[in-house]
Chains A and B, each alone.
Chain A
């Protein structure tokens, strides 16, 4: 939801695009919020810039590139998959695999019962016969 109706684009389709892009952009001075959710000077300026790019005819991709060229990947709320962020994106799978592995190992240890040796069997038999 854009904070100020006065800054919205007249074309609802373009305004919807601007808001979708804005929700992907981090407000760098109020981290954890998107620029659509904040009224910090930075967020207000960035909302305006996004709308100016769209009015100028940029595609969503071009708008995103314009912003990241100036503010880096940090400004994106969803970091792109790259060599630097591969471990971050893979972390849920890695942790799940590690957990499953640990669980399987524990199960196997518990069920793997060493069979009795002949001497032990003989002792049990002897005790039973007493």
Chain B
């Protein structure tokens, strides 16, 4: 075989592989690519039927309120035992001050612990329910906390974020999306 090809083909394969890994690593570093990320199967679909009891000492929200539409909604699954939930909390406090409607779901948490979490860090939610056994979470396709969903004005799921909504995620994705949906 042509000597130049015998040398060139493996070299080209190695160079392409290197470029691919480099792109993957930089995009992982910037948070654009998440190898553990699973795209939600519910994007573009109506929010799943969700009827849960109110969290201790808080107004709850009903399935009808969830799908009333008319305004975009942020639905957040959190737990007092979840560290990234505390990390993302200030972002939701800021959103709530800006008038965004947030609905909370306390996931697999003791009611008193979840209530204490909100008392200590502030409560960004218009209403909070509790999913004691995680049954409702399965309907949402949730695989851990925190997870955050954005519903458009027709109560369709438009965005899902698994993991903490950091300042950067909020600035790059959440705020522009909410502005677009408003």
Contact = CB atoms under 8 A, between A and B. Distances in A.
Nearest to A105: B1
Interface of A is mostly: helix
Interface in A1-41: 28-29, 31, 41
Tell which of A42, A69, A70, A105 has the most Cβ of chain B within 10 Å. A70
Nearest to A66: B138
Contacts of B144: 29, 41-42
Contact of A45 (B36, B38, B40, B137): B137
Contact of B138 (A31, A46, A68, A109): A46
A45 B141 contact: no
B33 interface: no
A71 B135 CA distance: 14
Contact of B38 (A41, A69, A74): A74
Interface in B15-58: 36, 38-42, 48
Contact of B143 (A29, A49, A68, A109): A29
Interface of B is mostly: loop
Contact of B41 (A68, A105, A106): A68
Interface in A79-130: 105-106, 109
A49 B36 contact: no
A contact residues, range = 10 to 19
B154 interface: no
B39 A72 contact: yes
Interface string B106-143: 00100000000000000000000000011101111101
Contacts of A105: 1
A49 B143 CA distance: 13
Tell which of B42, B138, B139, B141 has the most Cβ of chain A within 10 Å. B138
A106 B1 CA distance: 7
Contacts of A74: 38-39
B39 A70 contact: no
Interface of A: 28-29, 31, 41-42, 45-46, 49, 68-72, 74-75, 105-106, 109
Interface of B: 1, 36, 38-42, 48, 108, 133-135, 137-141, 143-144
9 contacts: A42-B143, A45-B133, A70-B48, A70-B140, A71-B38, A71-B141, A72-B41, A105-B1, A106-B1
